[in-house]
Each structure stands twice: as structure tokens, then as C-alpha cells.
Amino acid sequence: MVGLLRPLSAAATLLLAPATPLTGSSVSASSVGGRRWRSVRADAGGGWLSGLLGGKGGGASTAMMVTPGTVKAGDPVLHEPAQEVAPGDVLSEKVQGVIDRMVDVMRRAPGVGLAAPQIGVPLRIIVLEDTQEYISYAPKKDIEAQDRRPFDLLVIINPKIKSTSKRTALFFEGCLSVDGYRAVVERHLDVEVSGLDRNGSTMKVRASGWQARILQHECDHLEGTLYVDKMVARTFRVVENLDLPLPTGCPQLGAR
């Protein structure tokens, strides 16, 4: 979801199915509900600590590093709405396997959130987790400004999200599917998400601050929306330039 926590060296691979090597990447094919899809995902090493969050919105210099196990911007699976998971399929080996792979990719990246389309699977599933260790890599002033607190792993199937207040905030975000870049995005500060957990039970999460931002970012993925579709365009930059001043006329970071 947003920013880097710390630089990562080696990377893990993960995949949906055996794939045929391409130049620096591979193609996987699978199906859900009778529909087949093909997705290109990178195999190169590297990664950034928080496919979605950390520091002012970024962190260490990692531009152009590729997060293994994730498909990248331009792949159709990231730009089309995902399909709902039938309640009766939640406990199936296929869906549980997708969830396990998502958690593995998110943690190996490492990141704080991931949506199923990011591993090439067009299903409405998100996972998110923010730990005290991840948060410790961000400057204290940014942690306070972002209202960032640790929370345990959440797996949400068929999430439905709504804002619960009119409060918003602007901060930098990044994405494991758009490696090496950041941009400012305005998000609601308070949301409620309902859906199913990985056991098929109904669940509801009320969140604020940074956790609310992660939930919005991940739910956007399920609609085929990337953060760059919502960004303040003139703030878009490579990670190395994250700390440079915002252009004249851009909104200031923080709550509004």
C-alpha cells in the first residue's frame, strides 16, 4: 500500500502456477469461475518494505527494484474489477491457497497490504498487517502525523467499504505493483469495512488513520484502481526524490 520501511536485499519467489520464463518475468495462467486469465509477474530480486506505507510516504532508496511475486501496472488484472468469492468456496483449497500466497508475498516484500489481483488472481480478497517492527523504521513525527498503529493480520473476502466521517488526509503512497515511485493521495481518515474472514464468517472492521488508508488502497485494487489513478499528479516522483519539496500549488500533507 504505501511507502517503504527499510531496504530489503534478497527476495523470495512465489507463484500461482508453473510459468514459462520471459525476459526478467514469467507468465502465469489460471482460472476462476470458468474465466481464464494470463498475468505477467516479475521474478527479479529486490523489494521495498511496505508496499504501502512508511515514513513520510517512502523510505530508503529502492527505485526500480522489483517486488517478486506481484504483477505490475499495465497487466489487465490490475485494471479490471475483481470477482466476488462465492461463500461456499471460501474454505476450498484453491481460495485458501490464494490467501496463503498473498500473506507470504506481502510479508516477504515486505509490505503492509496486498490484494489478490496483485498476484494475478482476479478475486475480491485483501490482506493487511502492520507491525511494531515496520512502524519503527518510520520517523516518529510521521508516525504521529499519519496516526499509524500496529494491528494483527487481517484477511477480508468480498470487502465492502464506506467512510464513516468527512475527515480526510493527504500523504504519500506507494504500491508493490508500481515499484520505485510515490505520490500524494487524499483518503478518508475513518472507514468501516465488512466482509468474510478466511473461515467464511462475517466480519466488520472500523479503522482510522493509517489503517484506514491501507484498507482504502487495497479495496481500490479490487475495483481495478491503482493509487496513481487518484494521486495529486504533480507529486508523483521516484523514491530518491521523496524528500524534495512539493511543487508550488500542491496541497500540503496531513489532515484537512
Entry pTM? 0.79
Predicted pLDDT at 82: 98
Per-residue tens of pLDDT for the chain, all 256 residues: 444 333 332 222 222 333 333 233 333 445 555 555 555 444 333 332 333 333 333 333 333 345 778 999 999 999 999 999 999 999 999 999 999 999 999 999 999 999 999 999 999 999 999 999 999 999 999 999 999 999 999 999 999 999 999 999 999 999 999 999 999 999 999 999 999 999 999 999 999 999 999 999 999 999 999 999 999 999 999 999 999 999 999 999 999 9
- The active-site residue, picked from 80, 192, 218, 223, is 218
Write the class of the CATH domain 38-255. alpha beta
DSSP readout, 68-92? TT-B-TT-GGGSSPPBPPPGGGTTS
Distances (CA, A) of 171 to 47, 142, 145, 238, 251: 21, 10, 9, 15, 10
H-type helices in the chain, by residue range?
A: 93-108, 132-136, 140-146, 209-222
Let me know if 218 is a catalytic residue.
yes
Domain residue extents for the chain: 38-255
Which of 147, 145, 146, 143 lies closest to 133, judged by CA? 143
| DSSP-based three-state secondary structure for 26 | strand
